[in-house]
Structure 1
Amino acid sequence: MMGTFQSALKFQNIGFWQTTDSTGNEKVVRVAFILLDHFSLTALSTAMDALATGNLINSNTVYKVSTYSLLGGLVESDIGIPLSSQRLNVETINHDAVVVVGGQRVRLSSHPTVRRALKKTAGGKGIVAGVWNAAFYLADAGLLDDQDCACHTDSCALMNEYFPQVKTVEAEHTFAHRRATCAGASSALDMVLAIMQNLSTRRDADLVDEIRRVHQPKRLQVNDVPPGPTVLARPIPRPLNVAVSLMENHIEEPLEIDEIASHVGVSRRQLERRFARYLNAAPNRYYLELRLTRARQLIMQSNRSLTDVALATGFVSYPHFYKRFKDLFGLPPMAFRDNYCSSDFGGSERYAIAAGF
């Protein structure tokens, strides 16, 4: 039995490990988005996609999303694309988080229904949040008094004039005391991830870095550390970075470890020590986990046969691939594909149902 991931790659795969028996003990988190006329569609899609990713990677938390507006029906976004919504009714607001979505073209004005909905959520220990210039509505409800607030620069003057007790700060997003704000569409992801980390189960908190990696991919550089919450004391040395690049470029026909060591100009023993020190695994083990990570991506994102996937990731026999994949992910390849690709909506019926589609 090989067990689950050992190397730094576990942070890319931690959310995909499964067991064949379902516990049925997911925590359901209800998130409401209040859409203002001409709301930022980019900000909303970024926020909702982070929640969708949280559902797709098999976390213990299921995010159920609802959209509301002042009048209900279709709400026009900033680029003219309308979205459907329910009419905002304070009696039906019983959510773990309520997010007001503003935008560059949103006209700010006090609204009693929004104010009551936010106060009700905050009073029930829920999280309230404002995207772009929608911090105005949190301030109008008295929920940002003497607190830092991230707001789009075009709206800071208005905020300071109407709500001098609120501290507008030069930050992309803020999150404290169950109040969250962000300055624009580009910072909506970080704000929503902070909300997810606060509301999800302890295990799911480890998945936040993976969701960020999905939306903000960054390749390993010479002075970088592996993705994940652990910050290493020293930068990754160049020979190790080159060795990892060689492995990434030779997935289908894996190289021998001695050959990799020769390419980077170090002995096999030196290479093994560096892999163990910086990536928490021997070179052979890291290489295997890298290939199985690629196999997982191919299974989820393509229609290639599982035999083709096995060959494309360097396994000469399907039974060997089957065993190794099941050891690391808890399910055989076919069952894994069935679980993640059971619908036309991004491979997950689970999110489609949760979002009310």
Structure 2
Amino acid sequence: METFQSPLKQQNIGFRPSTVMSGHERVVRVAFILLDHFSLTTLSTAMDALATGNLINGETIYQVSTYSLQGGLVESDIGVSLASQRLVAEGFSHDAVIVVGGQRVRLAAQPVLRRVLKKSSGKGIVAGCWNAAFYLADAGLLETGDFACHSDSCGLLYEYFPQLKVSTREFICTQRRATCANAHSALDMTLAIMQELGAHNDAPLVDEIKRVHQSGHLQPKTADSLRCSAIPKPLNIALDLMEKNIEEPLEIDAIASQVGVSRRQLERRFARYLNAAPNRYYLELRLTRARQLIVQSDRSLTDVALATGFVSYPHFYKRFKDLFGLPPMTFRDYYYANDYASSGRYAVAASF
């Protein structure tokens, strides 16, 4: 089986079946504590990052549980209720504990929550979203540094904890304490937690999760190993031409001509900045698009082949199998197989 040579590897390596459920993955247990009228957007943002981490098959499995003070259904800020387990201090043990606040959450000391956070602080990361920093402060866990909190709740925190310092930053993750000020920054906070607790080799995949959740279409030159600020303009133009001509690929000579350099000059720049020849990068870009179409649509595989510039299905079949380890149809079936969807990698959704 061939390997990706260009920075597009980070967008695809997690989908290769050789890394799926080897039995040696690191398991990270994450508990979300939902306060009454918690921000549903904040929770879904954080959980989606973990679910994507499971989806792209790194060396870490994130298993998620939801808790609340009373147990049962907890109403979110928009009236949608989610199931939860009742929070008790005895036997509570997780690698990360994330308290989810929100605009409509009323802040008041909760003895059980205080005990849980104090106990958890010695074992893993303790985090608070939106205004949940209040509960970390109440447990005495924010004495040694700045923390993030939504601006609407800063006044109350100043009143109860005048010695503490609220940061102007939207999220902070340091010394196994993490806080974020709003739903948008919950993604960055969760990714920081994943980098802290996940396997060392998953670090590049965390960057890929961030790319997945950012707006905009695929831009290969934003890949992790690209030195974007140093990429010369002709190479950027060549990348854009490739991106815009997937279905009917251009000849490399034609790209070089439009860019205004010789083919040899273009090849040297691809080798220097992308670690791949132009035709190889172009192939990997087209197969990346093919993988997306196979996973995200029900288009026939012949249509996928044509949409990604392959003049014959047998040629597409061979090149796709070379890089992803499975034929296109088997890859689609494998990706959506019931036993895979219900495996430990999807435990993140089990509590719903």
TM-score by length of 1: 0.92
Whether the 8 Å contact between 2:49 and 2:190 is mirrored in structure 1 is yes
Partner Cα separation in structure 1 for residue 106 and residue 233 of structure 2 = 52
Could you tell me which of 333, 336, 346 is aligned with 2:328?
333
Following TM superposition, by how much is the alpha carbon of 1:352 offset from its aligned partner in structure 2, in angstroms? 4.0
* Residue 188 of structure 2 is aligned to residue 190 of structure 1: yes
Of the three residues 138, 141, 145, the one matched with 1:140 is 138
Once the two structures are superposed, residues 64-123 of structure 1 have per-residue CA deviations (whole angstroms, 9 ceiling, x without a partner) of 111111111111111111111111112242111110000011110010111111111112
Q: Tell me the SS of whatever aligns to 2:18.
A: coil
What secondary structure sits across from 2:166 in the alignment?
A: strand
Q: 1:20 Cα shift?
A: 8.3
In 2 relative to 1, CA 173–336 (structure 1 residues): closer, same or farther, beyond 3 Å? same
| 2:281 paired with 1:283 | no
User: Could you report, residue by residue, the CA deviation over 1:222-272 in whole angstroms, capped at 9, with x for unpaired residues?
Assistant: xx95321x4628532222222112211221221110111112222111211
Equivalent position of 2:222 in the other structure: 226
Deviation track 1:129-163 (CA, whole Å, cap 9, x = no partner) reads: 00000001011111111211011111122222222
SS at match of 1:169: coil
In structure 2, the CA distance between the partners of 1:333 and 1:92, relative to structure 1 (3 Å rule), is farther
Distance in structure 1 (CA, Å) of the matches to 2:106 and 2:19: 51
Q: Which moved more, 1:202-211 or 1:9-18?
A: 9-18
- 2:94 aligned partner: 95
CA deviations over 1:43-66 (Å, ceiling 9, x no partner)? 000001001101111122111111
1:261 aligns with 2:256: yes
Say yes or no: does 1:349 pair with 2:347: no
Q: 5+ unaligned residues in a row in structure 2: which ranges?
A: none
Deviation track 1:289-319 (CA, whole Å, cap 9, x = no partner) reads 0001001101110112223222221222333
Residue 62 of structure 2 aligns to a residue in which SS? strand
Worse-matched range after superposition: 156-165 or 106-115 = 156-165
Report % sequence identity.
71
Q: Which amino acid aligns with 1:355?
A: A
Change (3 A) 1:115 1:151: same
- Tell me by how many angstroms 1:213 deviates: 0.5
Aligned to 2:169: 171
Evaluate the alpha carbon distance shift between residue 22 and residue 65 of structure 1 in structure 2; reply closer, same or farther with a 3 A threshold: closer
For 1:251, what is the secondary structure of its paired residue?
coil
SS state of the match for residue 83, structure 2?
strand
Q: Unpaired segments of 5 or more residues in structure 1?
A: none
Alignment partner of 2:291 out of 287, 291, 296: 296
Whole-Å Cα distance in 1 between the matches of residues 240 and 30 of structure 2?
40
**What count of residue pairs does the alignment treat as equivalent?**
350
What's the RMSD between the two structures over aligned residues?
2.2
CA contact (8 A) 1:47 1:188 kept: yes
Q: Is the 8 A contact 1:29 1:62 kept in 2?
A: yes
Where do residues 106-121 of structure 1 align in structure 2 (5 Å cutoff)? 106-121=105-120
CA contact (8 A) 2:62 2:347 kept: no
Moved more, 281-290 or 163-172: 163-172
Deviates more, 1:277-286 or 1:11-20: 11-20
1:156 matched residue in structure 2: 154
What corresponds to 1:305 in structure 2?
300
Q: What secondary structure sits across from 2:127 in the alignment?
A: strand
Question: What amino acid sits opposite 1:227 in the alignment?
Answer: A
Shift of residue 349, structure 1, vs aligned partner = 3.1
Specify whether residues 354 and 158 from structure 1 end up closer, same or farther in structure 2 by C-alpha distance, changes over 3 A only. closer
Q: CA deviation at 1:22?
A: 5.2
> Aligned to 1:148, what secondary structure does the other structure show?
coil
In 2, the alpha carbon distance for the partners of 1:297 and 1:21 equals 18
Q: Output the TM-score relative to the length of structure 2.
A: 0.93
Contact 2:172–2:180 (CA under 8 A) maintained in structure 1:
yes
**Does the 8 A contact of 2:128 with 2:136 survive in 1?**
yes
8 Å contact kept, 2:235–2:270: yes
Q: Describe the SS at the equivalent of 1:46.
A: helix
Distance 1:20 1:112, change over 3 A: closer
